[in-house]
């Protein structure tokens, strides 16, 4: 290759190489010094019959958990510490896989800031009743049904949305602590105890305080 050709190639590729080095350095700086301060992220997803739940988003920490006596199983998920209204604490592994949820359906509303997520839940066990097994004429399991649940999906959603039954949850996003289910008074008390911002509110709080 002639000296002239080398000069032309250098003139073309040198700025490109410099650009890649600079942008790569900026991206590395961003990843090291400006990473997301939370180790996990939450989103809404489908629970039973497609009802909305709070789930662990994909792309979170992969954890090795015991599978059986001979080997472990690699799963994508996180350990959460659940605190019930009586002060009992239970640590549970929540996977990112379908069918796992942090807060089960039906989630009517959720709000969050950088520290907490607050959730208004309509518990389907209380509204539709507990699941009952239905068997065929030969005594074989056929399906499950809830006694107060309509066959029409639109009617089911209207029943959930219009139900006066509420349960509340608070998730500490920095520590993966989950508090609930709570009554409205218990929820307000826990808000104060944890220091949840007064700016973070659910719509139902406006009429429940009346």
Bridge partner residues of 44 (DSSP): 54
pLDDT at 185: 95
Tens place of pLDDT for every residue, the chain, 210 residues? 555 544 544 455 454 444 444 334 333 222 222 334 445 677 766 555 557 788 777 654 555 555 555 555 667 788 899 999 888 999 988 887 766 788 888 899 999 999 999 999 999 888 888 888 888 888 888 778 888 888 788 888 888 889 999 999 999 998 999 999 999 999 999 999 999 999 999 999 888 876
pLDDT at 16: 45
**Is 42 in contact with 58 (CB distance < 8 Å)?**
no
The model carries a pTM of 0.70
pLDDT at 93: 84
> Which ranges constitute the DSSP H helices of 38-132?
124-128
Q: How far apart are CA 55 and CA 189, in angstroms?
A: 25
**Is 53 in contact with 105 (CB distance < 8 Å)?**
yes
pLDDT at 200: 95
Q: How far apart are CA 164 and CA 71, in angstroms?
A: 48
Q: How far apart are CA 207 and CA 210, in angstroms?
A: 5
């Amino acid at each position: 290759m002639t000296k002239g050709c080398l000069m032309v190639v250098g003139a073309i590729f040198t700025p490109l190489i410099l650009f890649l080095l600079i942008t790569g350095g900026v991206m590395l700086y961003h990843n090291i010094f400006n990473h997301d301060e939370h180790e996990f992220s939450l989103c809404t997803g489908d629970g039973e019959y497609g009802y909305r739940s709070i789930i662990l988003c994909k792309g979170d920490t992969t954890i090795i958990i015991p599978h059986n006596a001979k080997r472990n199983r690699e799963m994508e998920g996180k350990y959460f510490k659940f605190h019930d209204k009586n002060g009992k604490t239970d640590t549970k592994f929540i996977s990112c896989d379908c069918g796992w949820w942090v807060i089960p359906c039906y989630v009517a509303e959720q709000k969050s800031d950088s520290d907490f997520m607050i959730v208004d839940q309509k518990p389907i066990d209380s509204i539709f009743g507990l699941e009952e097994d239905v068997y065929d004429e030969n005594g074989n399991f056929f399906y499950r049904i809830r006694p107060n649940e309509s066959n029409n999906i639109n009617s089911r959603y209207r029943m959930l949305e219009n139900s006066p039954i509420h349960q509340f949850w608070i998730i500490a996003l920095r520590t993966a602590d989950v508090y609930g289910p709570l009554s409205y008074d218990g929820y307000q008390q826990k808000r104060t105890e944890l220091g949840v911002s007064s700016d973070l509110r659910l719509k139902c709080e406006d009429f429940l305080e009346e």
